[in-house]
Each structure stands twice: as structure tokens, then as C-alpha cells.
Amino acid sequence: MRILVTGADGFLGRGLVAALSKTYPDAQRIVLTDRAFAAGSPNRMEHVPGDLGDPDFLDQLIEPGFDLVFHLASIPGGLAERDQTLGHQVNLMAPLSLVEKLAKRQPGARFVFASSIAVYGHLGRETVTDATACQPELTYGAHKRMTEILLADLARRGVLSAISLRFPGLVARPATESGHGSAFMSQIFHSIAAGEAYTCPVPAQSTCWWMSKRAAVDNLLHAAGAIEMAQSVIQPPVLHASVADVANAVARLTGQTAKVTFGTDATLQRIFGAMPPLDARTAISFGFQADVDLDALVKAALSGD
Amino acid sequence: MRILVTGADGFLGRGLVAALSKTYPDAQRIVLTDRAFAAGSPNRMEHVPGDLGDPDFLDQLIEPGFDLVFHLASIPGGLAERDQTLGHQVNLMAPLSLVEKLAKRQPGARFVFASSIAVYGHLGRETVTDATACQPELTYGAHKRMTEILLADLARRGVLSAISLRFPGLVARPATESGHGSAFMSQIFHSIAAGEAYTCPVPAQSTCWWMSKRAAVDNLLHAAGAIEMAQSVIQPPVLHASVADVANAVARLTGQTAKVTFGTDATLQRIFGAMPPLDARTAISFGFQADVDLDALVKAALSGD
């Protein structure tokens, strides 16, 4: 088994990399790529820093062939809105090129793509199901949806064994990562745990879809092995809870008092804080899992794993 | 006004080109491109044959700048299924590159994209509305949907003034054009009008969405001018009728006897012959139009316009 992870030094990437050796103890090669690597890394893994938008780098990266690719590399939605050229290169052209080259180099390889619930665009109050239409409203979601469609078609044709997982904003991202519009979903964990005051931009009753990095990693690894599935796009189950409920759980579990002031940012609430219920029975039937409950979510989010 | 038409020597392209001069009598330049031009062309229009997949050609083509682009170039769905590389180049990468280059050369230009109802994939029995999900099942529809999403995002950002029109199989394509899976929708016109026997691959009660080339051209020209619309994806109205109803109308209007034997091709029927009703009120409210009735459809389809 030869494995490639893109975006390997990102928030989700580091979590995945930490779990890879245990899941694939006999892997022949595990190659990690990212623009740069900030920290050291586990033994037995090769670090290949570079730019996925550079065709020569991509050729060189793919050359050994891989049986399994986790494509996590992307720039956050807020940054993609501000820097259109960068968003186009990293979030659209890079996966398109990677997929095209991989399909030629290693037809049938398993390709696990970290997609996003941003593909839906604005959702109404109706429960989200497999039949819910995707009308992405931000460039980030548009690029993710385009990549999903390409992968679904390649999977149908048997060119690649591709699967896309739609992740919500994962918690708790480092406090320094503020490029995501959903940053408030992580900041609320950090600030309450640290006993600090926090001004949350959206109202207390805003409802979000919650998933810890740990659960996201479990779902990525499960997706890698779930090769018999017909579906190539999966909406994993999430916890559906209000910001206030999560804040209370964090305060309770950390013994802190939640010093949170809630704002009324209508745009952020519309995009991230007005999520309807989710019917993820399809994904659950295939073994994908949410965090067990809010307590488990908070513990995982604050563990740093 | 400087106008560019891609796929200008195709079935729909020729119809559009024939109507352009009347709609834009004062156009400064009208540039037509296609891989090659089979026939002569109207005066005052420049012919630039070439391959949209060639970056140098594209640079040269776009260089003068255009206020209005009709992007019609594509290969048919059947061919895209058979030749994956060609489909990827022509139906996906060519529009992506064209759009990227045009956005840089002429920000805000009007871009009219000939999309397809193939974006929906399999539809159930429910009436199709603006909220119907797109789950393309063929590569052709996947590429069209990806392009629609990109254009909708660029329109939202004001980068291009883009609009996509979802066309059904247009009638009546030349009898020689058999690359489309929906070819039977045109063959039925030709064979009955010629008094020839025809074996239609799908059952008589198969329901299709019908539109003449003339109506499609009218909708393209309307789209070009409808720049105040918020919607960037339009499902124009169509005629919803069975193959038998259309066959009978052709026979009646041509004074022929319909010598049609109907088959039971489940795949073709599923993709093209099981279309539910369409609620196109949004498009109609913006002035898009179907053929008036089956008689008008048949007359337009057989006129060769």
C-alpha cells in the first residue's frame, strides 16, 4: 500500500497523519505533501513540500504511483473569497490536475476528497437529505462541488475509486486560523476553556453542524476502506446543536464560566448558523459516524488531537 | 459591440450566426470560431478556425477583447462517453480556460453558455423546478454542471456577466449527427418527413423535452440581452410531449404516414425518454420562450433554420 496525503501539514492533515501508521502499519510508503512543513513528523513518512499548482511538481509527486490518496489541500473559504486567483489555483485547478494525472498513472486508485458542506449554499429549514440540491454561494463551495462532480463521474466510469466527504467546520481549529468564516465555531471552545471573554459574531440560538477533528479523521479512514460503496459523495453525520448549547457544554466540562457575548452578524449566521437538521442515514448505514454527543465533541475538540 | 461565437459551425452555432447580424446590426466585430468551417459564411464575420484546447490559440482568440461571448462549442454526450480525453479537453478544460482568460482580458463581459438538461441526471416523476437537484449521470452533464457552477460564482462576484441555458436535445439535428444519445429525437422528424420507415429505440409513450433550434437561438439572443437578471442558470421552457405525439404531429403536417416501430431501449428511455413535467415559470417571467406548440415545433424543426 502506497499512500499520499495532500495538505498533510494542515489542521485536518496533521490529525490524519497521526492516525495513518496505526491504520496502515504495513504501508510500503506514506508520502506527505504540503506547501511547507512547520514541524517534525513521524518516522517512516516522506515529506515532499511543494506547490500542487505547479505541473512539474505534480508530475514528480505522482510519479511513484499511489494506491490511496487523501486530498485535503485547500485554502479556507474566507481567503478564497479575497484572493480569487489563489482560490482558483489551489481549490479548483490543483485537484483537477491531481485527479487527471493520478487517473493516468494509477487507474482505479482510491481517492478520498475532503469536501465541505459549503457545497449546499444557503439551506432552508427543511431537513437535509441525499436529495438536497447544491447551490454553492461562495467560491470555496463552488470549487468543492465542481471537484465532487468530476470525482463522481470518474468513479462511475471506474477511472478512479473516488469518494468525497462533506465536512462541516471542524472543531477546534487553532485560534490562529482565522481564514475560515466558521472560525467562531472554534474560538468559542478556546475562549471558554481559557476563561476568556469572547464576542461570538452570531446569536446564541444559531444552529450549526458540529464535528471534531477526531471524528473527521475517523471518517476519512473509514472512507478509504469503504470501497464497495456505490455512493461517491457522502454527507457524514454531524451533531446539530446551537452555539449556546455548545458553549454551555464547554463551560460545564472545563469548569469555567462562559463569558460569551453574542452578536447579530446576519451574513455569518445565514451561512454557518442557520443549519437545519440532517438526515445522514445513508452515511450511517455505511458506517460513518458523528461524535457520540456534545460531551464527546467538546472533549475531542479540546484534546488537540 | 464585439461578439465571439464558439462552436459557430455546429448545429446550434449556424443557427445563431444566421440570426446575429439582424440582432446586432451595428456590431463592430463578430468573430466565429470552430475547429473548422465546412461552408461559406455571412459577410462581415471573421472566421478563426482552431482548437480551444490549445492555450496559444485561446490567447490569440481572446486578445482583441469581447463584450459578448456565446460559448456553444462542445462534443456530444455519446462521444464524450467514448473518448474521455477529448471530452475532458473540449467540454471541461476549454470552457474553464476560455472563462479564465476572458475574465482577465475583459472583466464584466457577457458570457452566454449553452448548457444542457444532462446536468440533472436521472429525474423522477416530480415536476422539475429551480430547486431540483443536479446529479449528472454522464460525463457530458458532469462537465456542463461544473461549468455552470464556475460561471454562477464568477457572475456572483461580478467577474463576468455569465448566464447558462439548459437546452434539451434540439430538433431536428442533421441525420448525419448521430453522436448524441438523443439522436432519435431528430431522426423521427427526418424519417417521417421523408416517408421512410424508422425504428425508434424508445417506446412510443416516452416523454421528452422538445425545443427547436429556432427557439434555442431565440433564447440565446434573449439571454445575451437579459443582463439585469439575478439568476445565472436558466432552465428555458420546453414542450413536454411523448415521442408518439411528436411523430403524429410530423405525419400530419407533412401529409405522410408515420412508419415508426418503437423499441424498448431502457437506458435511452431512462436518460432521454422519461422526462417529467417542467415548471419553467422563472425563465418565462424573464422572457424565455418555448416553441408555441407541437405544430410550431415541427414546422421549425423541418424548416432547417
pLDDT in tens, A166-225: 999 999 998 877 667 788 999 999 999 999 999 999 999 999 999 999 999 999 999 999
Domain A172-208+238-276+292-303 = CATH 2.60.40:
no
Residues of chain B with CATH 3.90.25: 172-209+239-277+292-303
Residue of B88, B133, B146 with shortest CB distance to A133: B133
Provide CATH 3.40.50.720 ranges for chain A.
2-170+210-234
This prediction's pTM:
0.95
Least confident of A110-119, A124-133, B93-102, B227-236: B227-236
What CATH number is given for B2-169+210-234 in this structure?
Answer: 3.40.50.720
CA angle (B15 as vertex; B9, B19 as ends), nearest 5: 120
> What would the pLDDT profile of B21-62 be if each residue is shown by its tens digit?
899 999 999 999 999 998 666 567 899 999 999 999 999 999
Least CB-CB distance to A146: which of B139, B149, B157?
B149
Nearest CA in chain B to A150: B142
- CATH class of residue range A2-170+210-234: alpha beta
Question: Mean pLDDT for chain B?
Answer: 94
B144 touches chain A (CB under 8 A): no
DSSP string across A74-115 = ---HHHHHH-HHHHIIIIIIHHHHHHHHHHHHSTT-EEEEEE
Interval B261-298: pLDDT, tens: 999 999 899 989 999 999 999 999 999 999 999 999 99
Q: What is the mean pLDDT of chain A?
A: 94
Of A132, A152, A159, the CB nearest to B133: A132
Residues of A in contact with B133 (CB under 8 A): 131-134
Residue B180 pLDDT > 80, yes or no? Answer: no
Percentage, residues of chain B above pLDDT 90: 89
Residue A55 phi/psi, 5° resolution? -55, -35
CATH 3.90.25 domain residues, chain A: 172-208+238-276+292-303
Q: CB distance from B178 to chain A under 8 Å?
A: no
What is the mean predicted confidence (pLDDT) over B133-144?
Answer: 96
Query: To the nearest whole percent, how much of chain B has pLDDT over 70?
Result: 97
pLDDT at B38: 83
Task: Name the strand (E) or helix (H) holding B84.
Answer: helix B84-87
Rounded to whole angstroms, how far apart are CA atoms A189 and A187?
5
pLDDT at res. A253 = 97
Chain A residues with beta carbon closer than 8 angstroms to that of B100: 88
pLDDT at B178 over 80: no
Give the pLDDT mean for A117-122: 95
ipTM above 0.90, yes or no: yes
Q: Looking at the DSSP assignment, which residues form a beta bridge with residue A163? A: A112
Set of chain B residues whose Cβ sits within 8 Å of the Cβ of A156 = 137
pLDDT at A44 over 80: no
The answer to whether residue A40 scores a pLDDT higher than 70 is no
Residue found by looking up cell 436518460 in the block:
B271
Per-residue model confidence (pLDDT) at position B24: 96
B231 CB within 8 Å of a chain A CB? no
Q: What is the mean pLDDT of residues A35-53?
A: 84
For residues B80-95, give the mean pLDDT.
Answer: 95
8 Å CB contact between B65 and B105: yes
Question: Hey, of A81, A140, A146, which one would you mutate to test binding to chain B, going by the most B CBs within 10 A of its CB?
Answer: A146
- Put simply, whether B88 touches A (Cβ < 8 Å) is yes
Q: What is the pLDDT of residues B217-233, one digit of tens each?
A: 999 999 999 888 888 99
* Cα separation, A156 vs B114, whole angstroms: 24
CATH classification for the domain delimited by B172-209+239-277+292-303, as one of 2.30.30, 3.90.1750, 3.30.70, 3.90.25: 3.90.25
Q: Do A150 and B142 touch (CB under 8 A)?
A: yes
Q: How far is A28 from chain B (nearest CA, A)?
A: 31
Q: Which helix (H) or strand (E) holds B198?
A: strand B198-200
Q: Cis peptide leading into B172, omega within 30 of 0?
A: yes
B46 touches chain A (CB under 8 A): no
